[in-house]
Chain A
Amino acid sequence: MNIFFGKNTDKFILDGIKTSGGRNKAISEVYRRYYDLMRSVVLRNSGSVEDAEDVIQEAVLVFVRMVQKDEFRGESAIGTFLSSVVRNIWLGKMRKSQAEQIRISKVEMEESEYVDHFSRAESYKTMQEVFEQLGETCRRLLTMFYYEEMNYEDLMPHFEFETEQALRNKKSKCMKGLSDIIERKPTLAKTLREALKI
């Protein structure tokens, strides 16, 4: 019952996002609780339902990454923060497409905050495009190993490799392939170095 009515929902979401076991439930809760609010920000500013769906996904991604990296300090409530991320990404998209007829004046934000959220969303989009350039086996293997945190033994039944060593070699090749693609995109590499502080 607390999830619906309680005051602990923010904590439930923030704690859940940081664990691989609780992440899915926490993100689902973000949608259940804040989807209408986020959608209304886009719809009230000349966006369509489809625009809203895309922007909401990008905003949730920015929010979740910030929580995972301890960059969300909880100075504002999650709903307030998500509204501002949605607004900034939507404003960025409007500016990018130079849709001057749209009443973007309604979405004025502080420049630094706007740039930060929008540029994060844009970088994430590029990262996804880069990842898509890998073959399907590599995408599955890397996702299951790093994101779902499955070990080699558990991965074996999901792939057609005769030995665990062959699977390990494949994973290394996939990572090397991904690194090569990133190196061919200097802007992305620079953004990643800055984000990772390396």
Chain B
Amino acid sequence: MSSEFDEYFLKKMSPDEEQRFLEGLKSDARKREEFEKAAMAHEVVAVAALKQEIGEISKKYIGKSVSSKSWTSALRIAAIFLVTILGFLGIKESLINGSEWTSDQGLRYRVPNERGDLTPTEQVAQYYKMGDYDKIIHEFGKSSHEGEETAFLVAMSYFNLKKYPEAVENIDKFLQKWPMAQQKSEAEFYLIHSLVGAGKYLKAYDLIEKMNAENQYKAYFDWKYKLRLRLLILTQ
């Protein structure tokens, strides 16, 4: 295979050389055919080698992650203490705020459409699937006669629009009105995120602590999440 191809693949050509090389391919059909084959083989090497590297990083990360879970409580407390001190010493400026943190996690509640009788009204569900959250809020947000599913999607619409204080208000109302709702677990999960988004870190922390162990989302709020939340509380 031509060493010229290698120079191209390894990006060792100057812009002028690269242009001349590509022009040359246009006028030489045989060379072009050879280059196409080499380019395809090069792509396969690049992808396979990258996959191998990612696999090794993954293994290393998962190994570390498992061993980190075996930390003793004392070490965790020491870590919290150390990071807290660092926070006071000068990293306060670089801490992201709760709104950015919540938004950065890319959460978006999705409509389950296989829950039989509990599926939200078709219209709200349709708007929700289309991402028309403003319309949901406009048409259903003020109604005091809305059903359980509609009320929940109104609250989720505020969350998706990053209107976290309104999301808190609506999820709160929802949980008070329907304490045994089908979406109770999800509602608590998004309430905590909305509280963080709204800057109410202490309340969010309390809710995590009070969250029922049977709630499948409780595991999401692991010690790292809580540590970060405590930092936000301290630096508020």
Task: Give chain B interface residues in 78-133, CB to chain A under 8 Å.
Answer: 86, 91, 94-96, 103-106, 110-114, 129
Which residues of B are found within 8 Å of A15, using beta-carbon distances? none
B31 within 8 A of A: no
Chain A 8-52, CB-CB to B under 8 Å as 1, else 0, gives: 000000000000000110011001100111001000000000000
Residues of B within 8 Å of A53, CB to CB, are 58, 62
Q: Is the CB of A57 within 8 A of B51?
A: yes
Contact A27:B40 (CB < 8 A) given known A1-B86, A7-B94, A53-B62: no
Q: A56 at the A/B interface (Cβ < 8 Å)?
A: yes
* Alpha-carbon gap, A195 to B106, bound state (A): 28
Report the Cα distance A35→B64, complex, angstroms. 12
Contact of B114 among A103, A107, A147 (CB under 8 A): A103
On whether the beta carbons of B61 and A32 are closer than 8 Å, the reply is yes
- Does chain A have a CB within 8 A of B77? no
A178 at the interface (CB under 8 A from B): yes
B147 beta carbon closer than 8 Å to chain A: no
Q: How far is the CB of B161 from chain A (nearest CB, A)?
A: 15
User: Does A182 contact B41, Cβ atoms closer than 8 Å?
Assistant: yes
Q: Which of B9, B106, B222 contacts A146 (CB 8 A)?
A: B9
Chain A to chain B contacts (Cβ below 8 Å), 12 pairs: A7-B96, A31-B57, A57-B54, A60-B58, A79-B106, A80-B104, A103-B114, A105-B114, A139-B48, A143-B49, A146-B46, A193-B40
Q: Which A residues between 41 and 98 are near B, CB-CB below 8 angstroms?
A: 53, 56-57, 60-61, 64-65, 76-77, 79-81, 83-84
We find that the number of chain A residues with CB closer than 8 angstroms to chain B is: 62
Which residues of B are found within 8 Å of A23, using beta-carbon distances?
53
Known: A1-B94, A27-B57, A147-B49. 16 other contacts (CB 8 A): A31-B57, A53-B58, A60-B54, A80-B106, A105-B113, A131-B48, A132-B48, A146-B9, A146-B42, A146-B49, A147-B45, A147-B46, A175-B42, A178-B44, A182-B44, A192-B44
CB distance from B10 to the nearest CB of A (A): 6
Q: Which residues of B contact A32 (CB under 8 A)?
A: 61
Cβ–Cβ < 8 Å partners of A80 in chain B? 104, 106
Task: Given A5-B96, A124-B51, A172-B1, decide whether A24 and B45 contact each other with a Cβ distance below 8 A.
Answer: no
Q: Are B91 and A1 in contact (CB under 8 A)?
A: yes
The answer to whether residues A83 and B106 also contact, given A103-B112, A182-B41, A192-B43 and a CB cut-off of 8 A, is yes
Kindly list the 10 A-B residue pairs having the minimum CB-CB distance in the complex, ordered from nearest.
Answer: A80-B106, A131-B48, A147-B49, A178-B41, A179-B37, A31-B61, A192-B40, A83-B106, A143-B49, A127-B47
**A2: CB under 8 A from chain B?**
yes
Nearest CB of chain A from residue B49's CB, rounded to whole Å: 4
Chain B residues touching A, range: 35 or more
> Contact: B94 with A61, CB < 8 Å?
no
B45 pairs with A106, CB closer than 8 A: no
CA distance A32 to B65 in the complex (A): 9
The answer to whether A106 touches B50 (Cβ under 8 A) is: no
B6 partner residues in chain A, CB cutoff 8 A? 145
A135 interface residue (CB < 8 Å to B): no
Query: When chains A and B are docked, how far (Å) is the Cα of A108 from the Cα of B40?
Result: 33
A113: CB under 8 A from chain B? Answer: no
C-alpha gap A81/B106 in the complex (Å): 8
- Chain B residues lying within 8 Å of A183, measured Cβ to Cβ, are 37
Query: Is the beta-carbon distance between A105 and B112 smaller than 8 angstroms?
Result: yes
Complex Cα spacing A196 to B39, Å: 8
A147 pairs with B94, CB closer than 8 A: no
Alpha-carbon separation in the docked complex, A107 to B220 (Å): 18
- Is B38 among interface residues, defined by CB-CB distance under 8 A? yes
A193 & B91 in contact (Cβ 8 Å cutoff): no
| CB of A155 closer than 8 Å to a CB of B | no
Docked pose: A132 CA to B55 CA in angstroms: 15
Tell me, yes or no, whether A198 is within 8 Å of chain B by CB: yes
Q: A115–B43 Cα gap in the complex (Å)?
A: 21
